[in-house]
């Protein structure tokens, strides 16, 4: 085989290896982290939540939304949060949101998304044992988490949540 043919084969092999490496990096950074994060982060069912300034006695049930203004799935869930806020109001269930960002940023975020939730708290999501956003919790009047969901909910689970109010 002549020298130029060997170089051509080597160059083609290098291009194939480089493409495989790039696809691996893309899969590692953008595809794989989403699934294990949702699976590994279970809601803190049975745990008592302590959020400074929040009095759980205000309602038999309180829905706590753990969100971030930088969470794509939180933004995509805005239509559900609108329905949830209205259902909570109709059923006398309090709906509050906890953001790691400031209250002003969170209120502006909800205003831009037209989500009518005005009880917004700023704090660490770790303080309520939440590891990923969005997380939705139902808390009883003693602050104990009775139900919880992590991630963007499909329509069937959205209906289930509304039914549990």
Low-confidence ranges of the chain (pLDDT < 70): 1, 17, 24-25, 27-28, 30-41
* Per-residue model confidence (pLDDT) at position 34: 52
Q: Which three-class secondary structure state does DSSP give residue 35?
A: helix
Predicted pLDDT of residue 111 = 95
- Region of residue 137 (phi > 0: left; psi between -120 and 50: alpha; otherwise: beta): beta
Please state the pTM of the whole predicted model: 0.74
Q: For 113-145, how does the pLDDT look when each residue is reduced to its tens digit (9 = 90+)?
A: 999 998 999 999 988 889 899 999 999 999 999
Output the pLDDT for position 33.
54
Question: Is the CB of residue 136 less than 8 Å from the CB of residue 62?
Answer: no
């Amino acid at each position: 085989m002549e020298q130029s043919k060997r170089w051509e084969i080597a160059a083609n092999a290098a291009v194939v290896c480089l493409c495989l490496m790039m696809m691996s990096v893309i899969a590692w950074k953008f595809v794989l982290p989403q699934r294990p994060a949702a699976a590994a982060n279970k809601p803190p069912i049975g745990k008592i939540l302590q959020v400074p300034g929040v009095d759980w006695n205000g309602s038999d049930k309180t829905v706590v939304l753990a969100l971030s203004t930088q969470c794509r799935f939180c933004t995509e869930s805005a239509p559900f949060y609108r329905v949830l806020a209205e259902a909570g109001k109709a059923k006398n269930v309090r709906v509050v949101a906890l953001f790691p960002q400031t209250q002003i940023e969170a209120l502006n975020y909800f205003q831009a998304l037209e989500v009518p939730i005005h009880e917004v708290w700023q704090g660490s999501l770790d303080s309520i044992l939440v590891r990923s956003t969005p997380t939705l919790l139902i808390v009883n009047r003693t602050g104990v988490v009775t139900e919880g969901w992590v991630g963007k909910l499909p329509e069937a689970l959205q209906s289930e949540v509304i039914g549990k109010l």
